[in-house]
Chains A and B, each alone.
Chain A
Amino acid sequence: MSVHQSNKHDSAPLHVTGQAHYVDDIPTPEGTLHLAFGTSTCPHGHITQMDLDPVRAAPGVVAVLTDRDIPGRNDVSPSPTPEPLLTSDLVEYHGQPIFIVVATSHLAARRAARAARIEYAPLPAILSLDDAIANPTRFDAGGKERVYTKGKPEIAFDKARHVIKGSFDLGGQEHFYLEGQAALCIPGEGAEVTILSSTQHPTEIQHKVAEALDIPFHAVTTITRRMGGGFGGKESQGNHLAIACALASRVTGQACKMRYDRDDDMAITGKRHPFRLQYKAGFDEDGRLLALDMTHYVDCGWSQDLSLPVADRAMLHTDNAYHLSDVRITSHRLKTNTCSHTAFRGFGGPQGMVGIERVMEHIAQTLGRDPLEIRQVNYYKPGAGGQTTPYHQPVTDNIIHEITEALLASSDYAARRAEIEAWNRTSPVIKRGIGLTPVKFGISFTLTHLNQAGALVHIYTDGSIRLNHGGTEMGQGLFTKVAAVAASVFGQPIDAVRITATDTAKVPNTSATAASSGSDLNGMATYNACMTIRDRLVHFASDFFVCDPKEVVFRDGIVDIAGAEFPFADLVKEAYMARISLSATGFYATPEIAWNRDAGRGTPFYYFAYGAAVSEVALDTLTGENRILRADILHDVGNSLNPAIDIGQIEGGYVQGAGWLTTEELVWHPSGALWTHAPSTYKIPACSDRPKVFNVDLFDGENPAQTVYRSKAVGEPPLMLPISVVSALQHAVAQAGGDPLFDLPATPERLLNAVERGHGRGW
């Protein structure tokens, strides 16, 4: 079978030869025009004067468009709350698009955009969580905070022997997909437009373009062959470019292309939500949590975008792998005058998980114990232990105990921790630390209706198979996995399957490729489409050869019919001659999920993905500089559809998450401008930041839920494995006599401060 094999990424031969086309590489029609946004230089205020004549007069400029040139809706928002593409009055962040320059080249458009003369009447700007908490404007719940409660936390606190309180800040994260946002619009006949977009959500691009142009959805086709990375940053943030290109094509009649320069990309687009987390935790002498009150202050930026489901998912991951009997979770979704924070791998789950892991560390510090012991004592019971999450979903598939035990053995955790602490006693400047943290991540969109997918499969008369589905390829290997599913159903080699670009004209009404759900949903839709055709072929063959349908077996590139072997293509040809349809759609909707968001109660997740990591670090206590020396990971992907691709997701997720928690710091200037708007000032992990020793294993098991070939989702869960790096740094800081309850990301400055603070010298 093609599944469960480490098939190479389907685009690998194109990637290594430079032949893979991203949007900016696609040959464009003669006369294609290029776009740039003119953006706000004020974080909050009213536009009092706007003189765009100098822009129009700039070399190469063909047109300048404002909100008055939008025939339909001026709205890029993925949520019901509108978010204007262009503003002519109220600006709400530094970098907000105000007008579109259409010019003969990318450079001409960008240069002209800077020639505008715009004046503002400034309003007070909310540029920090401190400001937002002091003057809250909340999205969601009628301007109120959202609260989920299980049990009776107030009563439980009274019974707790120990009660601790804490608060810390957790920074956001720039996606830094290597390929920046890009879109190309090719006008067709009449009102028709085709959008080639680097997007995780072709259907939303289709809808937003149609609404802006005031045309039916059927007049817009969105095509996405691949993205150069997405990570959530292309779930909604590509809408602006696609609509701008469609508008400009409407006005000029030409094909129009827009790609953000990297500085513009970082200034305009949203990031991972920064959080402040406050907690009060009650526990017993063993460190067992008896009561928890957790509060999230979520920096949403200026517009709602996807902030509500992101903040929801943060609440739903407050438990991580721990049973919380009596718990209250409060979430404030706060408006600030910065870019609108958006989806990013984990979608709030990581922030929620970092919160409870901080609580575990704080308990351990209070009791003078290894944080691992506190974690283990609080784990959900194994398997179906009869316990429920804070949102009342029974945990029935818990394997975190097995994973932890296996990882403790393979990483030699106990002996290394003892050796590290002995070594630290002899090392006055460099301190090492080690930590183990678990991951339990809920799989499914929390917006239940999104858990559906479609596929379209054709078999041609030479036996070759062409596959289309609603998922998008951003490097994660989705197409390779789904092709393996199709090949396996027909017993064909994977090369027999041609994967095609995601196309709203082929599979309609798709969900974003997000929530780690790509292969679960599209793999199963494809499986269903293939089974429809295979059932027809089986029926035809058993009639033709007068045998039992069970005697028709697709395997090893051939069809075995009652013991006689036939080439697959021969059966297909015969079926065609007998007028059997060789094309089918497939559909899948995730079963067994139901979620009452307002009540905070239900079964939002079909299953959980588990994993754990042990990280070891070395910290220079005179500078705060640090290194990850070693990482050991054991991660659960069920029965892997492609072990090499899954391991790649785990390794990449770990390094990306480690970047978020250590080196990647977003800094805004008091003017509201993003200061860290390029990789020169925003530190993304480089090759040397990768752990020196990096052992990654897949947990041997299969998904008890009936997913495609019993695999599990893998996109997001590994991002949370490097919370173990924070745990290790906390160990090292504590070993240096410092205060381990520091803010994140744990930059060298913060770590140095944490060490100094412990000696009464912090700042």
Chain B
Amino acid sequence: MTSISMTVNGKPASGEVEGRTLLVQFLREDLRLTGTHVGCDTSQCGACVVHVNGEAVKACTMFAADADGADVRTIEGMANADGSLGTIQQAFQDHHGLQCGFCTPGMVMSAAALLKDNPKPTEAEIREYLEGNICRCTGYHNIIKAIQAASGQLTAVAAE
């Protein structure tokens, strides 16, 4: 067992983990942050995307020990300080960019990573960036619209 400590959503977090413990296990089982989902177990589907030191990573293929000392952000840390929804979260809600919701946390985290590096992505850039996030429900149309809206590039009102 190894002692690890990291910052998760701005708060210190620590625990004892095995070398093989995955970051997603540590977040879900030790810290009870269950918004980060396990969809495929093999880093294909992207339901487990979190940010480690500002980079989007798939938490099902990163060891918890490798995140020792890191600054980790999960879906639970994406709302504004006053508890209101962040811009991307609000856009996913307003543009119906979700159905079953299981992929949504990973989608929001990937979208946030994209917009950090590329605040005004083209539609093609959004599509390409989301290649690693599978949604089985929506057909992606409203997810793209939500990200366009969150980047201030969609003027049409919600719920068309």
Contacts and interface: CB of A to CB of B under 8 A. Distances in A.
A474 B101 CA distance: 9
A335 interface: no
Interface stretch (A175-183, A300-308, A320-328, A523-531): A175-183
A648 B75 CA distance: 23
A267 B5 CA distance: 38
Interface string A192-220: 00000000000000000000000000000
Nearest to A688: B127
Nearest to A177: B136
Contacts of A474: 100
Interface string B25-61: 0001000111111111110110100000000000000
Chief secondary structure at chain A's binding surface: loop
A498 to B, nearest CB: 18
A656 B139 CA distance: 7
A415 interface: no
Interface stretch (A12-20, A163-171, A244-252, A352-360): A12-20
Contacts of B76: 17-19
A130 interface: no
Contacts of B158: 6
Contacts of A8: 93-94, 96, 159
Contacts of B141: 651, 690, 694, 696
A308 B78 CA distance: 48
A262 interface: yes
B93 A18 contact: no
B86 to A, nearest CB: 8
A6 B131 contact: no
A631 to B, nearest CB: 10
Contacts of A20: 101
Interface in A647-695: 647-648, 651-656, 678-680, 684-688, 690, 694
A227 B34 contact: no
A261 interface: yes
B30 to A, nearest CB: 12
B101 A475 contact: yes
A418 to B, nearest CB: 28
Q: What band does the interface of chain A fall in when counting residues whose beta carbon is under 8 Å from B? A: 35 or more
B89 interface: yes
A15 to B, nearest CB: 3
Given A475-B99, A654-B139, A678 B44 contact: yes
Nearest to B39: A178
Interface stretch (A21-29, A272-280, A732-740): A21-29
Nearest to B146: A16
B138 A679 contact: no
Interface string B66-103: 00000000111011000001000110111010111111
B133 to A, nearest CB: 7
Interface string A405-424: 00000000000000000000
Nearest to A689: B140
A8 B89 CA distance: 13
Contacts of B96: 6, 8-9, 12, 644-645, 647-648
A483 B158 CA distance: 20
B75, B130, B137, B140 pick with most chain A CB within 10 angstroms: B137
Nearest to A718: B139
B94 A179 contact: no
A649 to B, nearest CB: 8
A262 B46 CA distance: 13
Given A651-B138, A679-B40, A178 B131 contact: no
Nearest to B101: A15
A17 B42 CA distance: 24
Contacts of A177: 100, 102, 136
A229 interface: yes
B134 interface: yes
Interface string A259-288: 001110000000000000000000000000
B131 A688 contact: yes
A38 interface: no
Contact of B131 (A18, A652, A687): A687
A269 B158 CA distance: 38
Contact of A262 (B36, B40, B135): B40
B143 interface: yes
Contacts of A15: 92-93, 98, 101, 104-105
Contact of B102 (A228, A261, A644, A648): A228
B23 interface: no
B108 interface: yes
A22 B37 contact: yes
A309 B79 CA distance: 47
A226 interface: yes
Given A18-B75, A678-B40, A178 B134 contact: yes
Contacts of B78: 16-18
B113 interface: no
Nearest to B91: A16
Contacts of B117: none
B65 interface: no
Contacts of B139: 648, 651-656, 685, 690, 694
A18 B34 contact: yes
B133 A229 contact: no
A18 B39 contact: no
Given A8-B159, A651-B139, A687-B144, 13 more contacts: A15-B104, A16-B85, A24-B34, A178-B135, A179-B100, A231-B136, A475-B99, A645-B96, A655-B140, A679-B40, A684-B136, A687-B133, A690-B141
Instruction: List the 7 closest pairs (A to B, CB-CB), nearest first.
Output: A18-B35, A475-B100, A228-B102, A15-B101, A655-B139, A18-B75, A475-B99
20 contacts: A6-B158, A8-B94, A9-B99, A12-B101, A16-B108, A17-B35, A19-B35, A19-B76, A24-B34, A178-B37, A228-B39, A228-B102, A229-B102, A262-B42, A475-B99, A648-B137, A655-B139, A687-B126, A688-B131, A694-B141
